[in-house]
Amino acid sequence: MEGIEKYRKAGKIAVEVRKFGEPLVRPGIRVLDIADKIEKKIMELGGKPAFPVNISSNDNAAHDTADINDTRVIGEGDVVKLDFGVHVDGYIVDTAATICLNKDFSDMHKVSQLALEEALKLFRPGGTIKEVSEVIEKTIREGGFNPISNLTGHGLERYDLHARMEVPNVKTNIDYTLKEGDVFSVEPFVTNGGGYVIEGASALIYGYEHDGRIRLREGTKILEMAKTKFDALPFAGRWLAGSIPTIKLKIALNQLSQIGALHSYAVLRERENGIVVQSEHSVIVGDKPEILTL
Protein backbone atom coordinates (compact mmCIF):
# COMPACT_ATOMS: atom_id res chain seq x y z
CA MET A 1 0.00 0.00 0.00
CA GLU A 2 1.40 3.38 -1.03
CA GLY A 3 2.33 5.58 1.91
CA ILE A 4 1.66 2.94 4.57
CA GLU A 5 4.74 3.77 6.63
CA LYS A 6 3.98 7.48 6.46
CA TYR A 7 0.43 6.83 7.67
CA ARG A 8 1.89 4.80 10.52
CA LYS A 9 4.40 7.52 11.40
CA ALA A 10 1.62 10.12 11.40
CA GLY A 11 -0.42 7.82 13.64
CA LYS A 12 2.40 7.38 16.16
CA ILE A 13 2.85 11.14 16.30
CA ALA A 14 -0.88 11.64 16.80
CA VAL A 15 -0.98 9.17 19.70
CA GLU A 16 1.89 10.93 21.45
CA VAL A 17 0.38 14.36 20.83
CA ARG A 18 -3.02 13.29 22.14
CA LYS A 19 -1.42 12.02 25.35
CA PHE A 20 0.48 15.30 25.59
CA GLY A 21 -2.57 17.45 24.84
CA GLU A 22 -5.26 15.99 27.07
CA PRO A 23 -3.66 17.08 30.39
CA LEU A 24 -3.34 20.63 29.04
CA VAL A 25 -7.13 20.98 29.07
CA ARG A 26 -7.95 22.23 32.54
CA PRO A 27 -9.81 25.18 34.02
CA GLY A 28 -8.20 28.59 33.60
CA ILE A 29 -5.86 27.58 30.75
CA ARG A 30 -6.06 29.72 27.62
CA VAL A 31 -7.42 28.03 24.50
CA LEU A 32 -4.67 29.79 22.51
CA ASP A 33 -1.93 28.27 24.66
CA ILE A 34 -3.37 24.77 24.26
CA ALA A 35 -3.62 25.14 20.48
CA ASP A 36 -0.10 26.54 20.11
CA LYS A 37 1.45 23.82 22.27
CA ILE A 38 -0.32 20.98 20.46
CA GLU A 39 0.55 22.25 16.98
CA LYS A 40 4.15 22.89 18.03
CA LYS A 41 4.39 19.35 19.44
CA ILE A 42 3.19 17.86 16.15
CA MET A 43 6.01 19.63 14.31
CA GLU A 44 8.62 18.77 16.94
CA LEU A 45 7.81 15.09 16.42
CA GLY A 46 8.28 15.30 12.65
CA GLY A 47 4.74 15.85 11.38
CA LYS A 48 2.65 18.79 10.26
CA PRO A 49 -0.84 19.79 11.39
CA ALA A 50 -3.39 18.52 8.86
CA PHE A 51 -5.73 21.25 10.11
CA PRO A 52 -5.81 23.66 13.06
CA VAL A 53 -6.43 21.89 16.34
CA ASN A 54 -10.14 22.09 17.18
CA ILE A 55 -10.91 22.95 20.81
CA SER A 56 -14.71 22.90 20.93
CA SER A 57 -16.50 23.11 24.28
CA ASN A 58 -19.93 22.08 25.49
CA ASP A 59 -22.59 22.66 22.78
CA ASN A 60 -19.93 23.65 20.23
CA ALA A 61 -19.30 20.43 18.33
CA ALA A 62 -16.53 21.24 15.86
CA HIS A 63 -14.43 23.80 13.98
CA ASP A 64 -13.65 25.97 16.99
CA THR A 65 -9.99 26.92 17.31
CA ALA A 66 -8.01 29.75 18.85
CA ASP A 67 -8.16 33.17 17.25
CA ILE A 68 -5.32 35.70 17.11
CA ASN A 69 -4.77 37.01 20.66
CA ASP A 70 -7.65 34.80 21.87
CA THR A 71 -8.36 35.44 25.57
CA ARG A 72 -10.82 32.56 26.13
CA VAL A 73 -9.99 30.07 28.86
CA ILE A 74 -11.24 26.59 29.68
CA GLY A 75 -14.06 26.84 32.21
CA GLU A 76 -14.89 24.80 35.28
CA GLY A 77 -17.10 21.90 34.19
CA ASP A 78 -16.49 22.31 30.45
CA VAL A 79 -16.81 19.33 28.11
CA VAL A 80 -13.97 19.86 25.64
CA LYS A 81 -13.44 18.13 22.31
CA LEU A 82 -9.77 18.07 21.32
CA ASP A 83 -9.68 17.20 17.60
CA PHE A 84 -6.53 17.38 15.49
CA GLY A 85 -4.87 15.88 12.45
CA VAL A 86 -1.28 15.00 11.59
CA HIS A 87 0.22 14.49 8.18
CA VAL A 88 3.56 13.16 7.02
CA ASP A 89 4.24 14.07 3.40
CA GLY A 90 0.48 14.45 2.89
CA TYR A 91 -0.54 11.14 4.47
CA ILE A 92 -3.13 12.19 7.06
CA VAL A 93 -4.49 10.76 10.28
CA ASP A 94 -7.28 12.38 12.27
CA THR A 95 -8.06 11.76 15.93
CA ALA A 96 -10.08 13.29 18.76
CA ALA A 97 -10.68 12.91 22.46
CA THR A 98 -13.21 14.45 24.82
CA ILE A 99 -12.06 15.79 28.17
CA CYS A 100 -15.04 15.82 30.56
CA LEU A 101 -14.32 18.33 33.30
CA ASN A 102 -17.96 17.79 34.33
CA LYS A 103 -18.35 14.17 35.38
CA ASP A 104 -22.11 14.35 34.78
CA PHE A 105 -21.33 13.71 31.12
CA SER A 106 -18.96 10.76 31.63
CA ASP A 107 -21.64 8.24 30.60
CA MET A 108 -22.19 10.08 27.34
CA HIS A 109 -18.44 10.00 26.73
CA LYS A 110 -18.32 6.25 27.38
CA VAL A 111 -21.11 5.72 24.84
CA SER A 112 -19.16 7.61 22.16
CA GLN A 113 -16.09 5.49 22.89
CA LEU A 114 -18.11 2.27 22.72
CA ALA A 115 -19.71 3.32 19.43
CA LEU A 116 -16.25 3.97 18.01
CA GLU A 117 -14.90 0.63 19.20
CA GLU A 118 -17.83 -1.29 17.72
CA ALA A 119 -17.56 0.58 14.41
CA LEU A 120 -13.84 0.01 13.99
CA LYS A 121 -14.31 -3.77 14.16
CA LEU A 122 -16.24 -3.59 10.88
CA PHE A 123 -13.50 -2.05 8.73
CA ARG A 124 -12.72 -5.26 6.91
CA PRO A 125 -12.76 -5.87 3.15
CA GLY A 126 -16.30 -6.58 1.98
CA GLY A 127 -17.97 -4.65 4.78
CA THR A 128 -20.06 -1.62 3.98
CA ILE A 129 -20.40 1.95 5.22
CA LYS A 130 -24.09 1.19 5.70
CA GLU A 131 -23.25 -1.50 8.27
CA VAL A 132 -20.80 0.77 10.09
CA SER A 133 -23.25 3.66 10.37
CA GLU A 134 -26.03 1.40 11.58
CA VAL A 135 -23.83 0.09 14.39
CA ILE A 136 -22.80 3.60 15.43
CA GLU A 137 -26.40 4.82 15.65
CA LYS A 138 -27.64 1.67 17.40
CA THR A 139 -24.90 1.83 20.05
CA ILE A 140 -25.52 5.52 20.77
CA ARG A 141 -29.30 5.23 20.99
CA GLU A 142 -29.11 2.12 23.17
CA GLY A 143 -26.87 4.15 25.47
CA GLY A 144 -29.65 6.68 25.92
CA PHE A 145 -28.29 9.51 23.77
CA ASN A 146 -28.58 10.87 20.23
CA PRO A 147 -26.04 10.72 17.40
CA ILE A 148 -25.44 13.94 15.50
CA SER A 149 -26.93 13.21 12.12
CA ASN A 150 -25.13 15.87 10.06
CA LEU A 151 -21.58 15.25 11.27
CA THR A 152 -19.72 12.32 9.77
CA GLY A 153 -16.47 10.46 9.59
CA HIS A 154 -14.71 10.48 6.24
CA GLY A 155 -12.20 8.89 3.94
CA LEU A 156 -8.55 9.97 4.04
CA GLU A 157 -6.28 10.26 1.05
CA ARG A 158 -2.98 12.01 0.40
CA TYR A 159 -3.46 15.75 0.98
CA ASP A 160 -7.22 15.16 1.08
CA LEU A 161 -8.74 15.35 4.55
CA HIS A 162 -12.31 14.59 3.46
CA ALA A 163 -11.94 12.04 0.70
CA ARG A 164 -14.20 9.45 -0.87
CA MET A 165 -17.10 8.27 1.24
CA GLU A 166 -18.51 9.81 4.37
CA VAL A 167 -19.08 7.63 7.44
CA PRO A 168 -22.41 8.89 8.86
CA ASN A 169 -23.26 8.48 12.53
CA VAL A 170 -26.81 7.46 11.65
CA LYS A 171 -28.23 4.72 9.43
CA THR A 172 -27.55 5.51 5.79
CA ASN A 173 -28.19 4.22 2.28
CA ILE A 174 -24.50 4.63 1.37
CA ASP A 175 -23.66 1.16 0.10
CA TYR A 176 -19.93 1.61 -0.46
CA THR A 177 -18.03 -1.65 -0.02
CA LEU A 178 -14.82 -1.34 1.98
CA LYS A 179 -11.63 -2.35 0.18
CA GLU A 180 -8.25 -3.51 1.44
CA GLY A 181 -6.08 -0.45 2.08
CA ASP A 182 -8.89 2.12 2.30
CA VAL A 183 -8.20 4.67 5.04
CA PHE A 184 -11.01 6.25 7.03
CA SER A 185 -11.53 8.50 10.01
CA VAL A 186 -14.42 7.38 12.21
CA GLU A 187 -15.86 9.90 14.68
CA PRO A 188 -19.09 9.30 16.59
CA PHE A 189 -20.54 12.59 17.85
CA VAL A 190 -22.98 12.06 20.72
CA THR A 191 -25.32 14.55 22.37
CA ASN A 192 -28.11 14.91 24.91
CA GLY A 193 -29.64 17.43 22.50
CA GLY A 194 -31.63 16.86 19.33
CA GLY A 195 -28.76 15.51 17.26
CA TYR A 196 -28.25 18.24 14.66
CA VAL A 197 -25.62 20.99 14.35
CA ILE A 198 -25.96 24.44 12.84
CA GLU A 199 -23.39 27.05 11.87
CA GLY A 200 -22.48 29.75 14.34
CA ALA A 201 -21.57 33.30 13.40
CA SER A 202 -17.80 32.96 13.58
CA ALA A 203 -15.26 31.15 11.41
CA LEU A 204 -11.62 30.77 12.44
CA ILE A 205 -10.55 28.03 10.03
CA TYR A 206 -10.20 28.39 6.26
CA GLY A 207 -9.39 26.19 3.29
CA TYR A 208 -8.11 26.96 -0.20
CA GLU A 209 -10.67 26.64 -2.99
CA HIS A 210 -9.35 28.55 -6.00
CA ASP A 211 -7.50 31.67 -7.11
CA GLY A 212 -9.85 34.58 -7.47
CA ARG A 213 -9.89 38.22 -8.54
CA ILE A 214 -8.53 39.85 -5.42
CA ARG A 215 -8.47 43.54 -4.59
CA LEU A 216 -5.97 43.35 -1.72
CA ARG A 217 -2.36 42.24 -2.16
CA GLU A 218 -2.67 40.57 1.25
CA GLY A 219 -5.29 38.32 -0.34
CA THR A 220 -2.82 37.19 -2.98
CA LYS A 221 -0.29 36.43 -0.27
CA ILE A 222 -2.82 34.42 1.74
CA LEU A 223 -3.79 32.27 -1.25
CA GLU A 224 -0.15 31.59 -2.09
CA MET A 225 0.57 30.51 1.49
CA ALA A 226 -2.61 28.42 1.57
CA LYS A 227 -1.44 26.48 -1.49
CA THR A 228 2.26 26.15 -0.66
CA LYS A 229 2.98 26.55 3.04
CA PHE A 230 -0.24 24.84 4.17
CA ASP A 231 -0.46 22.31 1.31
CA ALA A 232 -4.03 23.41 0.44
CA LEU A 233 -5.19 21.88 3.73
CA PRO A 234 -7.29 23.83 6.27
CA PHE A 235 -5.44 26.57 8.15
CA ALA A 236 -6.12 29.06 10.94
CA GLY A 237 -6.08 32.81 10.56
CA ARG A 238 -3.69 32.97 13.52
CA TRP A 239 -1.12 30.99 11.51
CA LEU A 240 -0.73 34.10 9.33
CA ALA A 241 -0.51 36.62 12.16
CA GLY A 242 3.26 37.05 11.84
CA SER A 243 3.10 37.65 8.10
CA ILE A 244 0.21 40.13 7.70
CA PRO A 245 -1.00 42.87 10.09
CA THR A 246 -4.06 41.68 12.00
CA ILE A 247 -6.60 44.18 10.66
CA LYS A 248 -5.56 43.66 7.03
CA LEU A 249 -5.49 39.90 7.58
CA LYS A 250 -9.07 39.79 8.83
CA ILE A 251 -10.30 42.01 5.99
CA ALA A 252 -8.53 39.85 3.40
CA LEU A 253 -9.80 36.58 4.88
CA ASN A 254 -13.34 37.92 4.84
CA GLN A 255 -13.02 39.08 1.23
CA LEU A 256 -11.53 35.78 0.06
CA SER A 257 -14.35 33.89 1.78
CA GLN A 258 -17.00 36.10 0.18
CA ILE A 259 -15.71 35.42 -3.36
CA GLY A 260 -15.28 31.69 -2.66
CA ALA A 261 -11.50 31.63 -3.04
CA LEU A 262 -11.40 30.34 0.53
CA HIS A 263 -13.89 28.08 2.25
CA SER A 264 -14.61 29.32 5.76
CA TYR A 265 -15.39 26.63 8.33
CA ALA A 266 -17.98 28.12 10.66
CA VAL A 267 -18.01 26.91 14.25
CA LEU A 268 -20.69 24.22 14.51
CA ARG A 269 -22.99 24.04 17.54
CA GLU A 270 -25.76 21.73 18.60
CA ARG A 271 -29.08 23.25 17.54
CA GLU A 272 -30.81 22.63 20.88
CA ASN A 273 -27.73 23.63 22.91
CA GLY A 274 -27.11 20.04 23.91
CA ILE A 275 -23.72 18.99 25.23
CA VAL A 276 -21.63 17.21 22.58
CA VAL A 277 -18.93 14.57 23.04
CA GLN A 278 -16.72 13.04 20.36
CA SER A 279 -14.36 10.09 19.99
CA GLU A 280 -12.28 9.51 16.86
CA HIS A 281 -9.65 7.23 15.35
CA SER A 282 -8.22 6.67 11.88
CA VAL A 283 -8.19 3.12 10.50
CA ILE A 284 -6.83 1.17 7.53
CA VAL A 285 -9.22 -1.44 6.15
CA GLY A 286 -7.83 -4.97 6.38
CA ASP A 287 -8.64 -8.49 7.55
CA LYS A 288 -7.47 -7.14 10.90
CA PRO A 289 -8.34 -3.41 10.82
CA GLU A 290 -5.25 -1.34 11.62
CA ILE A 291 -6.17 1.49 13.96
CA LEU A 292 -3.52 4.11 13.30
CA THR A 293 -4.23 6.40 16.22
CA LEU A 294 -4.69 3.88 19.05
Contact between residue 73 and residue 226 where contact means Cβ atoms under 8 Å apart: no
- The neighbouring-strand residues paired with 155 are 163, 184
> Is 187 one of the catalytic residues?
yes
Let me know whether 184 and 214 are in one domain.
no
Pair 120, 39 in one domain:
yes
| pLDDT at residue 214 is higher than 80 | no
Question: Angle between the 31-44 and 4-21 helix axes, to the nearest 10 degrees?
Answer: 140
Same domain, 41 and 71: yes
Same domain for 160 and 37: yes
Higher pLDDT, 22 or 173: 22
Handedness of CA 192, 116, 34, 66 (dihedral sign): negative
Quick: pLDDT tens for 233-264.
999 999 999 899 999 999 999 999 999 999 99
Q: Give the active site residue among 137, 187, 270, 290.
A: 187
Residues 254 and 282 reside in one and the same domain? no
The answer to whether residues 217 and 116 belong to one domain is: no
Specify the pLDDT at position 201: 81
Q: What is the mean pLDDT of the chain?
A: 96
Element (H, E) at 8: helix 4-21
Q: What pLDDT does residue 175 have? A: 87
Ranking 52-61, 157-166, 208-217 by mean pLDDT, the lowest is: 208-217
Is the predicted pLDDT of residue 215 greater than 90, yes or no?
no
Decide if 68 contacts 237 (C-beta within 8 A).
yes
Q: For 101-232, where are the E strands, in sequence order?
A: 146-147, 152-157, 160-168, 183-186, 189-191, 197-208
Residue 53 has pLDDT above 80, yes or no: yes
Range of the domain at 212: 201-268
Q: Among this protein's residues, is 70 annotated catalytic?
A: no
The mean per-residue pLDDT over the stretch 167-172 comes to 97
Specify whether 76 is catalytic. Answer: no
Residue 209 a catalytic site member: no
Give catalytic status of residue 154 as yes or no: yes
Q: Provide the CATH number for the domain around residue 42.
A: 3.90.230.10
> 94, 166, 218, 290: which is the annotated catalytic residue?
94
Number of domains in the chain: 2
Let me know whether 30 and 66 are in one domain: yes
Indicate whether 66 and 163 sit together in one domain.
yes
